[in-house]
């Protein structure tokens, strides 16, 4: 089962992630929101829409813009609505006993 781990702290844990462009998108209900705080950062992906970011708070330190979500994804990316992905400095640990959901990706890459 995939887990998002930053400096030994679990930020999310779910057997129901959705894979898009090599990123695990975790269902919002499986995210440790007590470890995340809102960021003002936004980015735009031409096929997913506008990403809103979150900071992580781990061991009293803030790691900026460590997670993102598409609150209103564009139609092609609708399967990631209500899901959260994490930046590359967050380790995604997987166990072999869970099957994952997947999403086909396009040639365009964005966070």
**What integer pLDDT is reported at residue 109 of this predicted model?**
57
Residue 99 lies in a domain: no
| CATH for 82 | 2.170.150.40
pLDDT tens string 41-80: 999 999 999 999 999 999 999 999 999 999 999 999 999 9
Residue 111 lies in a domain: no
Phi-psi category of residue 83: left, alpha or beta, with phi > 0 → left and psi -120 to 50 → alpha:
beta
What is the average per-residue pLDDT within 102-106?
A: 42
What rounded mean pLDDT belongs to the chain?
A: 89
Residue 110 lies in a domain: no
What is the average per-residue pLDDT within 16-23?
A: 94
Structural domains counted in the chain: 1
């Amino acid at each position: 089962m995939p887990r998002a781990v930053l400096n030994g702290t679990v930020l999310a844990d779910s057997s129901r992630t959705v894979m898009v462009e090599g990123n695990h998108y975790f269902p919002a209900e499986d995210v440790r929101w007590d470890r995340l705080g809102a960021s003002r950062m936004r980015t735009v992906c031409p096929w997913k829409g506008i990403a809103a970011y979150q900071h992580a708070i781990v061991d009293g330190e803030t790691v900026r813009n460590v997670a993102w979500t598409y609150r209103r994804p564009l139609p092609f990316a609708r399967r990631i609505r209500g899901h959260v992905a994490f930046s590359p400095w967050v380790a995604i640990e997987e166990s072999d006993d869970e099957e994952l959901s997947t999403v086909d990706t396009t040639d365009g890459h964005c966070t």
